[in-house]
Structure 1
Amino acid sequence: MEHELYVVGVGPGAASLLTVQASELLRRVDCVVAAPRHSPLVDWHPNRLTLEGFSQTLDRVEKELERGSVAILVSGDPGLFSLLPWLTRNRSHLSPRVLPGVSSLQSLCAAVGETWESAAILSGHGRPLSEATLLNSSETRRLSVVFCGADRTPQWVCETLAGRVDRVEVVVGERLSYPDERVRRGSPREMSGLSFDPLALVLVRNLSPWTPPFGRIRDADFERSSVPMTREEVRSVILDRLELCPGSVLWDIGAGTGSVSVSAALACPECEVHAVEFLPEALELTERNRLKFRRHNMTVHEGRALALLDSLPPPTHVFIGGSGGELRELLERIPGLMGLQTGVRVMVSAVTLETLGDAVALLSGPLYDGFDAVQLCVSSSKTLGQSHALMGRNPVTLLSAQSRLPKKNHG
């Protein structure tokens, strides 16, 4: 074991859950690296380093490796939200050996007699965790596990769920494995008024999780009215050609019934969808469909798109199904929006020749690259007496391009 680096899972924190393998190794290594919380586990070791900033600490670890073997202690199990991925990505030449440990997830599930093989595992500990991710997971999974952090506390979990996903049970485990361990459970409303130790883990139990529809949503599944709706066959092509991915931010301008917004939010739960609509009937319908399909990563905005441009988060994708006469100005202003890191993928759905002409002129012009268009002509069967005929619908043209980032002025 000379000059070897070990990453050692030390369990939730108490010495009683340190594995025999880990205990024996810590007695043999020449240096141990531990965060302040884990220092009591190795306070007897003659050569200890405090785990602080990763880069700074690893510089010292490399010097210690010149003299002998080093063990870095991590909470729980190294395979679950530890520094191991950072270490293998940034110091791969060190080739660490890994010793597994008992995770706090295992400890809490054991304490409440819960299995976790199908759990959704989320972390707000030094990682971004949005309300939408927590809500969508709690709606659709029997068990969601949240590793808490400085601003993603058990209180935040309970307050986020209360009033939006109430039919769940929240279980909070505090200071797991220590003598003052505490496990409390209740509804989000009951638990949101309590205070918790910062060292906590949360389980969200949903005994009747909602199952999202598989594949595309059928037209008949949406709440409908006289408001025009993008048909299901066209929606499928829109989603395919938008090319959404986790982290995408989609604006759906002229949302109508919300069918494109809901479909996008379901197809890509890790993206943000912002439905923009100014007609009162359409607004109400879009919100009803958002609630029906339980899309927490979808927000409905009231108003005309041009008036809302500066208040919406910077988009990565824009779909324009209806512009209320603002199409030309929208397409001219989108490339210059503040906060854009990359070009915006813009798609326009055109039924009228006027919309088609404006979209072609702008999207194939100097503000955009990669202009492309596809026209869909869909026919569906209809019974005519004893016969069946295919009845054609109005053709829909989908025009898309990538906006160019404005040139920076270096003068």
Structure 2
Amino acid sequence: MTEVTLIGMGASAATLTQEGYAALRAARRVAGARRLLDALPPAVTADRVPAVRCADVLAALQGVEGPVAALYSGDTGFYSGADGLVELLRRQGIPFRVLPGLSSVQLLAARLGRPWQDWRLVSAHGVPYDPVQAVCGGRPVLFLTGTGEGSPRALCARLAAAGLAGLPVTVGENLACPGEKITQGTAGQLAETAFGPLAVLLAEAAPRAPRRAPGWPDEAFARADGIPMTKQAVRAQILAGLAVTPGDTAWDVGAGTGSVSIELAFANGGAPVYAVECLPEACALIRDNCRRHGAWNVRVVEGTAPEALEQLPAPDLVFVGGSRGRLAPILDRALAANPAVRLCISAIALETLAAAIAALTSRGLQAHVTQIAAAHAPGTGRLHLLRGENPVFLITAGK
């Protein structure tokens, strides 16, 4: 074995580059998935070894005098097994070269007559992936799909369940192969359609309010009598205290109007935000505000904490805006799910402040208290008179 050539085949032998075809003809042995080997033309060596895992491919190619080749579908640089083989070859000091191929991204873009340089490229093939988080990034998303939860149908169903049933989507099946088919529609429509295993899904960017710094104007949110809302200055400090970063899963316990949930939904890059609220009318208001802003990654959980938290994924951060006197078990549930969770509790009454500090301290956490007293001067006539809001305490803890 003088050199290993890693070759991206594209979708079929018809999409092989001339460079890749020449390397295959020169190879004494070729290893790769059986489907790819069976599609090779007769001019390529008959010494073809089915292998998929990197170690198996390398083992299949060893002991051969002269050039050998490893064959991969699509492009060697796009979610390809070639990456693992390259690492093995480098580790063992074996010379190699890599020849790219046409990817499913290029093929679908060409079929649609669209450029793809602004698409986000992700894989849902054999790995769990949240399609809602992906489409909340402001760009079209191309999913490599698979079967089960990673199929186009399942991904579209999750988009539809999040309120994105009308989102335009496209599925490309068997691209550049017999039986090629392009299907366009909405996520709701394609959630009812079965597709073959060789498919990709293109979802357009979800409509969202423009991204901005935390602390949206209070007027941006729909209100209802008797349902509290965390005000602008406090919301901005909550996000700062929680140190929200993209990818953080968040719980908003006692979500009220959903204003904090929506701020979190834009600050965490589209990751899930669970708005937990026990009042049905408040849950309806949260859903309305989410639709207004395009906060599709907010999941409204109707129920009383901590029982409503039992089935939620582990959080990276938790905001407790209302506990109905059950702060201690809420904290226990959050810490049981993630001992390193970042916590923020809001309090207006001094009794609530004292209870929050005591609850955090008794659980071995250092409580940090910030008091916010905001006032606004709306301007009436010639005079600007300050109108104060209730002072709010924010108690934060966690790593």
- The normalised TM-score by structure 1 is 0.84
Deviates more, 1:247-256 or 1:150-159: 150-159
Equivalent-residue separation in structure 2 for 1:87 and 1:398 (angstroms): 51
Alignment pair present for 1:228 and 2:228? yes
Structure 1 residues 295-314: aligned runs within 5 Å? 295-314=295-314
Question: 2:273 corresponds to which letter in structure 1?
Answer: V
- Which residue type is aligned with residue 377 of structure 1? A
Report the residue type matching 1:147 in the other structure: L
**Structure 1 residue 323, shift from structure 2 partner:** 0.8
Once the 2 structures are TM-superposed, how far is the Cα of residue 147 of structure 1 from its aligned partner? 1.4
- How much has 1:110 moved relative to structure 2? 1.2
Unpaired runs of 5+ residues, structure 1, are 404-411
Task: Quickly say closer, same or farther: Cα 1:389–1:316, change in 2 above 3 A.
Answer: same
Find the counterpart in structure 1 of residue 26 from structure 2: 28
Matched, 1:202 2:201: yes
Q: Displacement, 1:333?
A: 4.8
Partner of residue 361, structure 1: 358
2:147 maps to 150
Do residues 400 (structure 1) and 392 (structure 2) align?
no
1:375–1:29 CA distance, 2 compared to 1 (3 A): farther
For residue 149 of structure 1, report the CA deviation from its aligned partner.
Answer: 0.5
Question: C-alpha offsets along residues 4-60 of structure 1, whole Å, 9 cap, x if unaligned?
Answer: 333321111x22210111111222344422112211344632443323333x42551
- SS of residue in 1 equivalent to 2:377: strand
Q: Distance in 2 between matches of 1:277 and 1:364?
A: 26
Alpha-carbon offset, residue 129 of structure 1: 1.8
Q: Are residues 352 and 162 of structure 1, via their aligned partners in 2, closer, same or farther at CA, if it must alter by over 3 Å? A: closer
Matches within 5 A, 1:20-169: 20-42=18-40, 44-54=44-54, 56-57=55-56, 60=59, 64=62, 69-87=67-85, 92-93=90-91, 97-133=97-133, 136=136, 140-141=138-139, 143-151=140-148, 152-162=150-160, 164-169=163-168
Letter of the 1:255 partner, please give it: A
99-108 or 85-94: which moved more? 85-94
Q: Deviations over 1:113-158 (max 9, x none)?
A: 2222222323211222224235536xx44x3322110122232244
> One-letter code of the match for 2:392?
V
- Letter in structure 1 aligned against 2:130: S
Query: Which structure 2 residues correspond to residues 364-379 of structure 1 after superposition, within 5 A?
Result: 364-365=361-362, 367-379=363-375
**Per-residue deviation, 1:257:** 0.9
**Which whole-Å CA distance do the structure 2 matches of 1:193 and 1:117 have between them?**
30
CA separation of 1:68 and 1:346: change in aligned 2, threshold 3 A: farther
Give the drift of 1:305. 0.6
Task: Describe how 1:283-362 pairs up with structure 2 within 5 A.
Answer: 283-335=283-335, 337=336, 340=337, 342-362=339-359
Contact 1:104–1:176 under 8 Å retained in 2 = yes
Q: Structure 1 residues 332 and 147, CA, compared in 2 at 3 Å: closer, same or farther?
A: closer
Q: Take 1:184 and 1:85, find their aligned partners in 2: how far apart are those partners?
A: 31
Verify the 8 A CA contact 2:171 2:202 in the aligned structure 1. Answer: yes
Q: Is the 8 A contact 1:250 1:317 kept in 2?
A: yes
Q: 8 Å contact 1:9–1:74 — kept in the other structure?
A: yes
2-structure distance, mates of 1:203, 1:236:
35
Q: Is the 8 A contact 1:5 1:94 kept in 2?
A: no
Residue 224 (structure 1) shift: 1.4
Q: Cα gap change, 1:274/1:195 in structure 2, threshold over 3 Å: closer, same or farther? A: closer
Alignment partners' CA distance in 2, 1:53 and 1:10? 17
Q: Distance in 2 between matches of 1:209 and 1:69?
A: 52
8 Å CA contact retained: 2:245, 2:269: no
**Contact 1:9–1:78, Cα closer than 8 Å, also in 2:** yes
Q: 1:314 to 1:190 in 2, by over 3 A?
A: closer
Once the two structures are superposed, residues 173-225 of structure 1 have per-residue CA deviations (whole angstroms, 9 ceiling, x without a partner) of 2211123322233344544444322111222347x944534333322111112
Residue-by-residue CA offset, 1:44-86 (whole Å, 9 max, x unaligned) = 32443323333x425516x728855443222211221112444
Structure 1 375/91 Cα, relative in aligned 2: closer, same or farther at 3 Å?
farther
Kept in 2, the 8 Å contact 1:364–1:401? The answer is: no
One-letter code aligned to 1:331: L
Determine if contact 1:368/1:402 at 8 Å carries over to the other structure.
Answer: no
CA distance in 2, matches of 1:387, 1:46: 91
Tell me the alpha carbon deviations over residues 312-363 of structure 1, each in whole angstroms, 9 at most, x when there is no partner: 333232211111111234334543x3xx354222211122111111111122
Change (3 A) 1:41 1:250: same
Aligned residues: 391
Are the equivalent residues in 2 in contact too, given 1:316–1:342 (CA < 8 A)?
A: no
Q: In structure 2, what is the Cα distance between the partners aligned to 1:343 and 1:234? A: 24
d(CA) in 2 for partners of 1:88 and 1:318? 42
1:409 match: none
List per-residue Cα deviations over 1:222-260 (Å, max 9, x = no partner): 111232211222212211221334443221111111111
**2:384 counterpart of 1:385:** no
Distance 1:322 1:310, change over 3 A: same
1:7–1:239 Cα change, 3 Å: farther
Q: For the residues of structure 2 that align with 1:241 and 1:68, how far apart are their CA atoms?
A: 62
Q: Match for 2:174: what amino acid? A: R
How has the CA–CA distance of structure 1 residues 342 and 93 changed in structure 2, closer, same or farther, with 3 Å as cutoff?
farther
Q: Is the 8 A contact 1:145 1:204 kept in 2?
A: yes
Q: How far off is 1:103 after superposition? A: 0.9
Cα pair distance change 1:347/1:368, threshold 3 Å: farther
